[in-house]
Amino acid sequence: MPKHNADIAAVFEEIADLLEIQGANPFRIRAYRNAARILSELSQEVSRMLEKGEDLTELPGIGDDLAGKIKEIVSSGHCSLLDRLHAELPPAITELLKIPGLGPKRVKALYHDLDVQTIEQLHRAARDGRIRELPGFGEKTESNILQAIEVHANQAQRFKLAVAAQYAEALEKFLAAIPGVARVTVAGSYRRMRETVGDLDIVAAASVSSPVVQRFTSYDEVTEILSAGSTRASVILKCGLQVDLRVVKEECYGAALHYFTGSKAHNIAIRRMAQQSGLKINEYGVFRNDTRIAGETEGSVYAAVGLSYIPPELRENRGEIAVAKAGRLPRLVEQSDLRGDLHVHTKATDGHNSLREMAQAGLANGFEYLAITEHSRRLAFAHGLDPLRLARQCDEIDQLNAELKGITLLKSIEVDILEDGSLDLPDSVLARLDMVVGAVHSNFNLSRAKQTQRILRAMQHPYFTLLAHPSGRLIQRRAPYDADMLQIIREAKNRGCFLELNAHPERLDLLDTQCQMAKEEGVLISINSDAHSVYDFANLRFGVGQARRGWLEKYDVLNTRPLKELRRLISRTMS
């Protein structure tokens, strides 16, 4: 069975969790966590790399032992180490880790001190007041655990967009190769580029004789068939993701794709417009009485109600219908519009490739420029640069730029914004840079007023250019810090600096609604990969999807500019 990177990463994360519960060597635990992170961010499937005979140890953070385990998982679907750990620990104990606020250390204490092995036992222990007696817990923690259990019980599983993409793209390719299938598209929230996906909706145009439903339900990653008929089926994949397939005739494909792409609110609004014109819209087409008048393409569905085609990313019923009716829909930014990347790390800090390797990868992606933005000294765990090391890197960049053809490296830094709003490096070294990227990496729990003032003060610094991952959120792991984003956006406009849309799949930060706010205020957004390896530029597609959800056009985006124009724009902030 082919294994996706997300599957292998999940195995390594579970190994790390179980090792930590057992109290294993921290360095061993960290190796598995790092490998899981690297695999989850990797754009190419390691199973395909193995098929091609490629050496997995060339991947960052993957040595012989981990490469061997990846091969074992891909070839057998199992990992002997994980099987052994499952035999040594209660089988349900990893379910406890799904409760927000319960990391491996707390699960270890609950297991060893209270013999808590399941979520039900955890709930009982919290309800009975036994958890508060444990060292490091207390009454407030116990109360938070009770609340978290309730939230977990009512929360449907959702997959990050980049993880869902691994399963969606493989399935789309599989279905497209089935005899009689003319077209296949993954629709739903995935097609609208939502940051998380609850399930996958797939629309296929196929002949009546096509075995598409039977092949779909026998797909080797299916673990449960919920339903199966002649034109529709629903299954659960082994990863837990539900997939619904709808098969239609080719002349209905556009209507079905529109219907199953959603959003529900958008579709309801379109159907109401149709009703006002005496029409009916469903997944089979647009009808006047019993006569089908449109539906072969999505464009024909919109045209039937007097609208131009609305891109999937805009279909959230947030004003797009009125704008389409007025003929003023934005021409959304495309990935091909990007001329460079303004947030890139190398192995000088916590990246995995050299300056030259990152430059070559940028050139291969069609870029004119890359900003090298190592962490600053405050992030000791990431080997952040102090003034001396940053000055040395600037010299290296100057030397490399003298050799490079077709791409320019910009001297920069991802400087920490300290709690008082000051920057982590002195002006004397910042003055030498082409641009300064500021970022919040600590003190996320400040009050709204303090967090806002902290960021505003940093932006007022004379060398400040770009605010990185402005909300600080990590999807499904850390909520955005509390700050007045409108005030921050307006300060960026006043100051003449810029905001980042971080394309890393864990971040997708700015939010789509904040992109719209920035656009309305005239503040340019830079869509950046936050690349830590040569593979990470592939994540830019998710950032572009988020930008399109935020209504951004080419000239709303800073790094669509050619280098000469970019230099002119960023030089205004460095004075």
DSSP summary character for residue 507? T
Number of domains in the chain: 4
pLDDT at residue 2, as a whole number: 52
- Shared domain for 16 and 101, answered yes or no, is yes
Burial string for 289-310 (b: 16+ CB within 10 Å, else e) reads eeeeebbbbbebbbebbebeeb
Q: What is the mean pLDDT of the chain?
A: 93
pLDDT, residue 155, reads 66
- In this predicted structure, the answer to whether residue 320 has a pLDDT above a threshold of 60 is yes
Helix runs in 320-426, H state only: 320-325, 355-364, 387-403
Whether 189 and 55 share a structural domain:
no
- pLDDT level of residue 382 (50, 70, 90 thresholds): confident
Task: Identify the domain boundary among 248, 282, 308.
Answer: 248
Domain edge (last residue) among 270, 297, 329: 329
Q: How does 186-207 read in b/e, with b if 16+ C-beta sit within 10 Å?
A: bbbbbbbbbbbbbbbbbbbbbe
Query: Is the Cα dihedral 334, 339, 343, 346 positive or negative?
Result: positive
Q: Is residue 254 part of a domain?
A: no
Does residue 146 share a domain with residue 123? yes
Residue type, 78: H
Indicate the helix (H) or strand (E) that contains 302: helix 298-304
**pLDDT for the residue numbered 64:** 92
Angle, helix 540-549 to helix 512-521, in steps of 10 degrees: 60
* Mean pLDDT, residues 403-420: 97
What confidence tier does 166 reach under pLDDT thresholds 50, 70, 90? very high
Name the nearest CA neighbour of 1 among 198, 167, 210, 172.
Answer: 167
pLDDT of residue 22: 87
Q: By mean pLDDT, which of 19-33, 102-116, 226-240, 495-509 is the weakest? A: 102-116
CB count in 10 Å sphere of residue 278: 9
Contact 103, 97 (CB under 8 A): yes
Give the pLDDT of residue 307: 96
Instruction: Tell me the residue range of the domain where 359 lies.
Output: 335-571
Q: Residue 244 CB: number of other CB atoms within 10 A?
A: 18
Q: Each residue of 439-454: pLDDT tens digit?
A: 999 999 999 999 999 9
CATH code of residue 71 = 1.10.150.110
pLDDT digits (tens, 9 = 90+) for 250-296: 999 999 999 999 999 999 999 999 999 999 999 999 999 999 999 99
Query: Same structural domain for residues 223 and 166?
Result: yes
- Domain endpoint, select from 329, 346, 363: 329
Q: Does residue 462 have a pLDDT over 80? A: yes
Minimum mean pLDDT among 15-29, 139-153, 483-497: which range? 139-153
10 plus 104 within the same structural domain: yes
- Give domain status of residue 512, yes or no: yes
Residues 83 and 47 in one domain: yes
Look at residue 560 and tell me whether its pLDDT is greater than 70.
yes
Average the pLDDT over each of 28-42, 91-105, 179-193, 495-509 and give the range with the smallest value: 91-105
575, pLDDT greater than 70: no
500 in any annotated domain? yes
Query: The CATH number of the domain where 325 resides is what?
Result: 3.30.210.10
* Percent of the chain that is helix, strand, coil (3-state, to 5): 50, 15, 35
pLDDT value of position 346: 96
Domain check: are 496 and 550 in the same one?
A: yes
Query: Can the peptide bond before residue 308 be classed as cis, meaning omega within 30 degrees of 0?
Result: no
Share of the chain above pLDDT 70, in %: 98
> Do 448 and 300 belong together in one domain?
no
Side chain identity at 543, as an amino acid letter? G
3-state secondary structure of 513: helix
Structure tokens that stand for 563 in this block: 């280098």
pLDDT of residue 570: 94
The pLDDT of residue 154 is 66
- Please state whether the peptide bond connecting residue 336 to the residue before it is cis, i.e. omega within 30 degrees of 0: no
Which amino acid type is present at position 62? I
pTM: 0.87
Residues 428 and 489 placed together within one structural domain of the fold: yes
Closest of 574, 551, 254 to residue 410, by C-alpha: 574
Q: 164 and 79 in one domain?
A: no
More confident residue, 43 or 341: 341
4-28 exposure pattern, b = at least 16 Cβ within 10 A, e = fewer:
bbbbbbbbbbbbbbbbbbeeeeeee
| Whether the predicted pLDDT of 413 surpasses 60 | yes
- Strands 242-248, 232-237: pairing kind: antiparallel
| Three-class secondary structure assignment of 230-251 | CCEEEEEECCCCEEEEEEECHH
- Please report whether residue 375 resides in a domain: yes
pLDDT over 60 at 130, yes or no: yes
pLDDT at 60: 82
**How confident is the model over 206-247, as pLDDT tens digits?**
999 999 999 999 999 999 999 999 999 999 999 999 999 999
Tell me, yes or no, whether 130 lies in a domain.
Answer: yes
Residue 180's CATH number: 3.30.460.10
Q: Judge contact between 156 and 141, C-beta under 8 A.
A: no
101 or 503, higher pLDDT:
503
**Closest Cα to residue 529, out of 509, 548, 555, 515?**
509
Q: Say yes or no to pLDDT of 43 above 90.
A: no
| CA–CA distance, 568 with 554 (Å, rounded to integer) | 18
253 located within any domain: no
pLDDT beyond 80 at 94: no
Same structural domain, 171 and 145? no
**Statement: residue 534 has pLDDT above 80:** yes
Quick one: 134 and 216 in the same domain?
no
Contact indicator for 261, 187 with CB cutoff of 8 Å = yes
The reply to whether 365 falls in a domain is: yes
In this prediction, residue 524 carries a pLDDT of: 98
CATH number reported for the structural domain that contains residue 397 in this entry = 3.20.20.140
